[in-house]
Amino acid sequence: MRFAIKKVITFFGAAILALGIAHAQSLAFKSIELLNKDKNWVLASKISLELNPTLEQFVKKGLTLYFVADFQLSKSRWYWFDEKIVEHSRVMKITYHALTNQYRVTLDGLSVVAPSLKDALTVVGTIEDWPVIEQAQVVDGQVYQAALRIRLDTNQFAKPLQVNALNSKSLNMQSDWRRFEFVPKKVAP
C-alpha cells in the first residue's frame, strides 16, 4: 500500500514539475537596433514575452504587472571602470478589466486595449521610437557598448507578494542584459 501511494505521489510530483518547466515564463530578444531619427538615436526592439500560469492568474485576478525596460550606453576606458553615458528606464503596465474582459497596456500615460493577454504581452514586448541617446552625447566613429534588459518590477506588488517574490522563481521574471556594440555614424542631411 505504501509503495503504491509513493508511486502515485512521485508521478504527480513529476507531472507538476514537468508542467512547471513547460509553462515557465520566458523573455527572449528577437531584435534590437538603434536608429538615427531627428537628431536622436531611437531604440527599436522586439521581445518575446510569456508568463507562467501563476502570473497569468495574478493578472486575471486584478494584479497589475509592471514591466521595466532598462537601457544603458557606456564607453570603455583602459584606466578605470567603463564610463556610463546614458541610463534610461521605461515602465509599461498590464491591467485586466473583468467587466469588459480586456487587457490594458499603459506606457507614458497612453493606453492600448488588447483583447487577450498574448496581445498585451506583444504590445509590451514591442519597443518603437524610444529616444535613448541625444546626438550630442556620442562621437561619430567611437565604439560604445549598449545594453538592454526587460524585467517584471516586483517592487510594485503588494507587500505580502513582495516577500513571496524574493523566494519564488515563478514571480521573478527578468532577462539578462543583451549587450551589443554601437558605433554612431553621421547621416547626411
In this structure, what C-alpha cell is assigned to residue 157?
Answer: 506588488
pLDDT at position 185:
84
Give the chain's domain count.
1
> Residue 188 — very low, low, confident or very high, per pLDDT cuts 50/70/90?
low
**What is the pTM (predicted TM-score) of this model?**
0.79
pLDDT at position 177:
94
Name 103's bridge partners. Answer: 96, 114
Quote the radius of gyration of the chain (alpha carbons, Å).
21
* Straight-line distance from the first to the last Cα atom of the chain, in angstroms, rounded to the nearest whole number: 82
Residue 148 lies in a domain: yes
pLDDT digits (tens, 9 = 90+) for 100-157: 999 999 998 899 999 999 999 999 999 999 999 998 999 999 999 999 999 998 888 7
The residues near 22 (Cβ < 8 Å, ≥ 6 apart) are: none
Averaged over 154-176, what is the pLDDT? 73
Distance CA 154, CA 65 (A): 8
pLDDT at position 2:
45
Residue 151 lies in a domain: yes
Residue 3 lies in a domain: no
pLDDT at position 170:
66
Place of cell 521605461: 90
Residue 87 lies in a domain: yes
More confident residue, 21 or 188: 188
Residue 15 lies in a domain: no
Name 36's bridge partners. Answer: 41
Residue 1 lies in a domain: no
Residue 53 lies in a domain: yes
In this structure, what C-alpha cell is assigned to residue 156?
Answer: 510594485
User: Mapping DSSP to helix (H, G, I), strand (E, B) and coil, where does residue 43 land?
Assistant: strand
pLDDT digits (tens, 9 = 90+) for 2-44: 444 343 333 333 333 333 333 345 788 999 999 999 889 999 9
More confident residue, 172 or 114: 114
Q: What domain range includes position 115?
A: 24-182
pLDDT digits (tens, 9 = 90+) for 43-100: 999 999 999 898 899 899 988 999 999 999 999 888 888 889 999 999 999 999 999 9
pLDDT at position 17:
34
Residue 5 lies in a domain: no
